[in-house]
Amino acid sequence: MKPKKAKSYNPEIELAKGATLDAASYDKTQKIKVTAGKVTVGGISGRAEISGTATGRIEPGIDGTMDLWLSIFRYTRPDGTTDHVAGWNIPTILKPGQTAAATAKAFADYINAGTRPYHATAAGGKIKIVFTEK
């Protein structure tokens, strides 16, 4: 059996790796659209835009909810170690009449309260997610 050759660290390649951002709305009147679908180790942010006023959750089930997903990914650090970043499903339950700005803020608050290596900011109905080392 041949020993594995050590890979050289290429910062351009490693800093371009990151999570794919995806989103879905299960609300009749409030929608979400991903406008930048990659959150990279090198600081490129993922972005989504929420529009409309929510019908909201009226009864148990998926109707009246919205989700963001960040995919699993791996990247190599400068010291040669490999970091595995777990995927993350980020749900929110919408209240009847909830504005796009309130939904974006709810997502940002949820992300920032978590222990995952992400930070989010909300402005109006827009959300911006960056990769951080927490």
- Determine the structural domain holding residue 49 and report its residue range: 11-131
pLDDT tens for the chain, 134 residues long, are 555 555 678 999 999 999 999 999 999 999 999 999 999 999 999 999 999 999 999 888 899 999 999 999 999 999 989 999 999 999 999 999 999 999 999 999 999 999 999 999 999 999 999 999 86
Q: What is the DSSP code string of 41-94?
A: TTSPPEEEEEES------SSSSTTEEEEEE--EEEE-TTS-EEEE--EEEEEEP
DSSP 8-class letter at 4: P
One-letter amino acid identity for 29?
T
| 68 domain residue, yes or no | yes
Report pTM.
Answer: 0.91
Distance (Å) of CA 20 to CA 2, 14, 50? 35, 15, 18
| 1 domain residue, yes or no | no
| 116 domain residue, yes or no | yes
Instruction: Give the Cα separation of 88 and 85 in Å (integer).
Output: 9
* Total domains, the chain: 1
| 4 domain residue, yes or no | no
